[in-house]
Structure 1
Amino acid sequence: MGLRLRDTVGRQLRELRYEPTAKRIRAVLNGTAVVDSDRAVLVWEPRRVVPTYAVPEEDIAAEVTAEPARTVPEVEAAGFALPDVTSMPVFDPRVPFSVHTAEGEAVAIRTDGARHALGFRPGDADLAGYVVLDFDGFDRWLEEDDEIVGHPHDPFQRIDVRRTSRHVQLMLGDTVLADSRRASMLFETMLPVRYYLPPEDVVAELHPSATKTYCAYKGEATYRSAVTAGGLLHDIAWRYEDPLVDASEVRGLVAFFDERVDLMVDGVARPRPLTPWS
C-alpha cells in the first residue's frame, strides 16, 4: 500500500526532529554578534511546524544561564488546526518559544545589553551540548552573509508560483470581491494554494491596514481591509511589495484569505480551508 507523504509528516510532528545544516549561522543581540557557528542544526520540537536553530553552547559568545521553569497551562489543548496534515493542534510561530514540548532546560542568553534572549537545552542525547535559540529574541540573523527573517528556512519546504488563465473569483455571499483570469497560483508545501491577483482585478474597495507579517520564504506582507455592504473585513487581503527571491513573481499582487471568503475557480466553489488563519 502506498504512503501519502503528508500523512508521514503528520505522524512525525509528534516527535522531536532535527536536521544538520551546512550553512554558517550568526545571530546578533544588543548590537553584538553572540552566535557564530558552522555546526548548527535545525530543530523542531514536537508539534512545531517551523524550525529554529540550535548551536553548540561553545559557539555562543555570551553568558548562558538557567531560567526558572515556566508553567504553561493547557499545552495539550493549545495550538492551531491543520487538519489536512494532522488531527493534532500544531504550534506555528505565534505560539511563543517559551512553550516547550520536549524534555530539557530553559536558559537565557545574556550580554551587557538591556535585552536577553531565550534558549533551551534539549534533554535528547542526540542534541547533547546544543542550545536551541529563540529566533525572535535576537536582533538579527544571518545564514552565511544573507539576512533571514521570520524563522529559519525548512529544507523540506518550498514555494512554486504558476500563472493561470483559470477564472478566479473571490466572493462574500453574492458580493464579488475580485474577478480575474490572470491569477498567479502560489503552491507552498503543506499549505493551501493561494491565488494572487493583479490589483486591477480586485473589485472591492481595499483600505491599507497597519498590520504587517513576515514570512521566511516570501518576506514582509502588508495587509488590506475590504469595504463591503456588511461592514469592514479586517485584514482580509495582503500583498508583498518587495518579496524575497522565492516569491518575486507575486510582487505587488493581492491575495485573499479564502478561509474567510468564498473562492470560485472556473465557476466551481472551493471549500474553505481550515488552517491557523481560519
Structure 2
Amino acid sequence: MLFVEPLRRRLRVKFAGEWIADSEDVLLLHEPARYPVAYFPLADVRPGVLISESRHTRHRDLGETEWFTVSVGDQRAARGAWQHTDLADYASELRGRVAFAWRAMDAFYEEDDRIVGHASDAYHRIDIRQSSRHLVVKDGATVIADTSRPVVLYESGFAPRWYVPRQDINESALIPVEGQTFCPYKGLASYYDIGENKKAAWSYPRAWPEVARVSDLVSFEPDKVDVFLNDKKLALEPGQSVVPHGIDRGLDPDEILEPGNGPARP
C-alpha cells in the first residue's frame, strides 16, 4: 500500500551550512519496504536552490520524476532533490512538492533537534520491558552469559531482542570488533566476536535517550551462539534485515560521527 500523511512537525533542511527548506506542511510518503520520505511544498523551499537536470526517471506508481541539483554558493549536490511531475489523481497530494536526498544534504531537523537516518516514522515503535526469565548464552559448552534479569526490546517489524547486564556476562569472552553500525531509533552499535563467531553480540554504549534503558547492555545473535530462554533455544527469525542505503536514507555511522552534528543553530 502506498499512502501519504501529514508529518505534523516542523521539518528543516540544511545544505552548505544554510537553511534551504523550512516547513510545517510536510507530507510523508510511505511505500512498501521503504523508509518514509518527506515531501516539502515548493513554496517552503528557498528560491534558486533547485536547478533542473536533464535526468528524468519514472516511478512505478507516481509517474515521471524530475531531478534537481541543489545549489548554494559554490556547493552543489547533483540528484539532490526530485519531484513527481505526472501524478495520477490518487497521488494529487504530492503535486507541487519536492523531496531531498537524505545523505546529499548536510542535515534534517525537527525544530532544533537533528533527525538522522531518515524521516521520522510515526508507526515505528520500541517498547522495553524488564523480565525475570532465565536467559543463558553459550558458545559450545562455554557459558557466556547467565541472567534472570534480562531486558527485552520489542521493535516494530522485528523479533524481540534480549539484552543482558554486563555483570551477568563473562566479558573476557567478548572480543571487541572495529567499526560500528547505526540505527536511527537506538543510536550507534558496537560489536563483539565470541570465539570463532563473528559479530555474535552487540551493544549500544550510549543509546538514544528514548531507549537509554538498553545503554551498555549486550544482546546476542541466536544464529551465531546458542541463546536459551527458559531452556528454549532461540532461533533467528526471517525478515530481520534492513536496507541501509538509498537516495532517501542513509544509515552510515559517519552521519552522526562527523563534526557539527549537534543541535541546530538559528
1:65-144 mapped onto 2 (5 Å cutoff): 65-66=52-53, 68-69=55-56, 102-108=62-68, 109-116=70-77, 118-122=80-84, 123=87, 124-144=91-111
Deviations 1:128-179 (A, max 9, x none): 1111222222212111121121222211221111111111123445444332
* Other-structure match for 1:267: 231
2:166 maps to amino acid: P
Query: How large is the Cα RMSD of the aligned pairs?
Result: 2.5
Shift of 1:104: 3.5
- Segment of structure 1 superposing worse, 50-59 or 185-194: 50-59
Shift of 1:115: 4.4
Deviations 1:19-77 (A, max 9, x none): 202211011112111111111111123431x2121111222222242352479xxxxxx
Deviations 1:72-109 (A, max 9, x none): xxxxxxxxxxxxxxxxxxxxxxxxxxx98753414232
* Other-structure match for 1:225: 192
Verify the 8 A CA contact 1:159 1:186 in the aligned structure 2.
yes
Alignment of 1:182 with 2:149, yes or no, is yes
Q: CA separation in 2, counterparts of 1:107 and 1:211?
A: 34
Structure 1 residues 63 and 132: CA distance shift in structure 2, 3 A? closer
Gaps of at least 5 residues in structure 2 are 243-266
Structure 2 counterpart of 1:21, from 1, 4, 7: 7
Verify the 8 A CA contact 2:176 2:193 in the aligned structure 1.
no
* Other-structure match for 1:214: 182
Q: CA separation in 2, counterparts of 1:198 and 1:40?
A: 41
Shift of 1:114: 3.4
Structure 2 counterpart of 1:257, from 221, 243, 256: 221
Aligned residues: 231
* Other-structure match for 1:145: 112
Higher Rg of the two aligned structures: 2
The structure 1 segments of at least 4 consecutive aligned residues displaced by more than 6 Å after TM superposition are none
* Other-structure match for 1:52: 37
Structure 1 residues 112 and 182: CA distance shift in structure 2, 3 A? same
Using the size of structure 2 for normalisation, the TM-score is: 0.77
Q: CA separation in 1, counterparts of 2:60 and 2:201?
A: 32
Deviations 1:188-215 (A, max 9, x none): 1121111111123233622333322222
2:214 maps to amino acid: V
Structure 1 residues 18 and 64: CA distance shift in structure 2, 3 A? farther
Shift of 1:113: 4.0
Percentage identity across paired residues of the two chains: 28
Verify the 8 A CA contact 1:177 1:203 in the aligned structure 2.
yes
Using the size of structure 1 for normalisation, the TM-score is: 0.74
Gaps of at least 5 residues in structure 1 are 1-11, 72-98
Alignment of 1:238 with 2:202, yes or no, is yes
